[in-house]
Chain A
Amino acid sequence: MRNSFNKHWYAWAMVLPTVIVLGVLVFYPLLRGVAQSFTNLNESNQRAEICTKVLGGAETCKPNPDAAQFVGLDNYVDVLTGAQGDFWLQFVNTLVWTVACVVLHYGLGLGLAVMLNRDFRGRGFYRVALILPWAVPSFVAAFAWRFIFDERFGVINGALRAVGLDPVAWFEQRWTSLFTAIVANVWLGVPFMMVALLGGLQSINGDLYEAAEIDGATPWQRFVNITLPGLRPVSSTVILLGTIWTFNMFPIIYFVTRGQPAGETEILVTGAYRAAFEGIRDYSLAATYGVLILSILVVYAGVYKRVLAKQGEVF
């Protein structure tokens, strides 16, 4: 023990500030959040004491008889059976949303990266132009797409009208509404994938392609047998990150669909947020959602990592 301290004290000292911040700002609130999910805490019962001013300005405080109480697993039972909130609807939305976005991000990003990796005139221009959406803050992008899909003044419905079609009431039906959000998020997320994969492509050894060509491999065979395996390290990281980011993507759903129609396009994160901060603030319900969302993601990351490790890649 002493030996190990002598050997590692400077490393530990160097990580100390980060560890303290993580402890105070992340783990303490996290534990509190988990604790709150076992109570019935809400806007009306959050005070532990009720203080009343008496004559002369002094205050007397006594315990709040209606303070939040420990309720065991009640919140989890309520949420998972659907007695409170729309967990399963939002869960399905989240799955559709995450899978659609990540598949499109990766697919389009890879396609564009492969194209940009070639040598041709105008490459630099395309590269800059295609990265631009990444430079737009996510909430601005969300507003922009809400504006574009706006039912009365939006350019898309304007274009539909101009060619003689009926305008679509995008936000009055669950799937068209979710579709608008997916479009917005795909627009926002493709550039990151593209740049990351382009970096990966450039690190693949060019000799491999040459050797494959000499051996008579078709372009498709080269793509499948050289490009994809060569991209594995980058792909595995960006897909994991992309999935987590999309799963937790708050502003797009919140500002583009706003849950319309009637909360049917809410994902878990925005659902939790609305439970906590809209209407009668139900903090315990939101905390329960938070714990459930985190559990889903931890399980996902664990499985993902295990699969990668099995294929011989560990970080």
Chain B
Amino acid sequence: MAEVLPQAIQTTIEGAEALDRPRPPHVRRKRSSLASLGLHATLVVATFCALFPIAWVLLSSIKPASEIRRSEIHLFASPTLDNYRTLLGDTDFPYWFLNSVIVAAFTMVFGIAMSATAGYALSRFNFPGKRSLMWTFLLTQMFPVAILIVPIYTIMANLGLIDTKASLVIAYLTVAVPFCAWMLRGYFDTIPRELDEAAALDGLGPYGTFWRVVLPLARPGIAVTAFYTFLTAWAEVAYAIAFMQSSRNYTLGAGLQQFVPQFSPRWELLTAGAVLVTLPAALVFFFAQRHLVAGLTAGGTKG
């Protein structure tokens, strides 16, 4: 066991890094400078398109309201943090932020806890019902908000849970659990089966193997799945708007909407809010993203 483990860790790390490494150079040809120019020009345009909306919202968030309502464009105009002060001091934004953190964190923890063993079983064992379970996971990804939101709403109303965070966590789990199981299966697949066999030889049962060998090795994959689940809950709006009714119970998506009604929208507050919502999400995202796609697509392509 002791000899096998470091090697396996190595394999996982290598697998995760493969995405970032440039492919071994197979063609060492010089590109003509014209082609090189075209390449950079295209990428610069693409980068501009990708960054502009973010930059624009960021710049607008530090403009005074009167400046946002002008029809001429200025990149900078008497920069100020007033919008942020108003947002944090005079609105319910801090409540929304806290609510979102709580809801997303609970969704994340329950989502992983409920799906980890299933991901392992799907990765390692052939058992009757496996295929239909995989299909079910795919199918639940297809569920439009539209089909579950009404029945879940009526169930929550009967249970008296409308306007509580619990109702949102429960609603988010409908997506999070199958998603986590699917993702985790992909990550468990990258852990060599030889380890399981070695553990079995050492006398560990299937549960022991899972808890003491596979789970510790899958930690990066679990972290990524967890964070992605967190982000999904962080960004959800449909259930949040339907279920939450008092302003202090809103989560961020439902709350921000209050700033931009049809008439006289307050874009200065919205842009400031948008920046504060995006910052933590972006940080979490950049930690997780490099391992994300591998898991997402591995689930779909490996037998």
Contact = CB atoms under 8 A, between A and B. Distances in A.
Chain B binds chain A: yes
Interface of A: 4, 8, 10-15, 17-19, 21-22, 25-26, 29-30, 32-33, 36, 41, 46, 108, 112, 115-120, 122-123, 126, 129-141, 143-148, 150, 152-153, 155, 157-159, 161-162, 187, 190-192, 195-196, 198-202, 206-207, 209-210, 213, 233-234, 236-238, 240-241, 244, 247-248, 250-251, 254-255, 258, 268-269, 272-273, 276-277, 283, 286-287, 289-291, 293-294, 297-298, 301, 315
A143 to B, nearest CB: 6
A158 to B, nearest CB: 4
Contact of B149 (A118, A254, A273): A273
Q: Is the interface of B mostly helix, strand, loop or mixed?
A: helix
Interface string B160-201: 000000000010011001100100000000000000000000
Using C-beta atoms within 8 Å of the partner chain, give the interface range for chain B. 35 or more
B19 interface: yes
Contact of A32 (B56, B151, B210, B234): B151
B286 A135 contact: yes
A199 B19 contact: yes
Given A139-B256, A273-B145, A290-B148, 16 more contacts: A17-B113, A30-B151, A33-B148, A36-B151, A46-B157, A120-B39, A122-B40, A136-B278, A139-B252, A162-B72, A196-B293, A202-B18, A233-B301, A293-B146, A297-B144, A298-B139
B237 A251 contact: yes
B53 A148 contact: yes
28 contacts: A11-B127, A12-B127, A14-B118, A15-B118, A21-B173, A25-B174, A30-B148, A33-B150, A33-B151, A112-B43, A112-B46, A126-B47, A132-B54, A133-B54, A137-B252, A140-B274, A153-B71, A158-B71, A159-B73, A161-B71, A195-B19, A196-B297, A199-B297, A206-B24, A255-B257, A272-B144, A286-B149, A290-B146
A34 B145 CA distance: 14
Contacts of B42: 115
Given A118-B39, A162-B72, A32 B155 contact: yes
B36 to A, nearest CB: 7
Sort A-B residue pairs by CB-CB distance and give the 10 closest, nearest first. A290-B147, A206-B26, A137-B235, A237-B300, A272-B146, A14-B121, A18-B118, A29-B151, A14-B117, A11-B127
Interface in B36-87: 36, 39-40, 42-43, 46-47, 49-51, 53-54, 56-57, 60, 68-73
Given A33-B150, A134-B289, A210 B27 contact: yes
Contact of A153 (B136, B155, B267, B289): B267
Contacts of B302: 315
Interface string B249-290: 000110011001010010100110010011001100110010
B159 to A, nearest CB: 12
B133 interface: yes
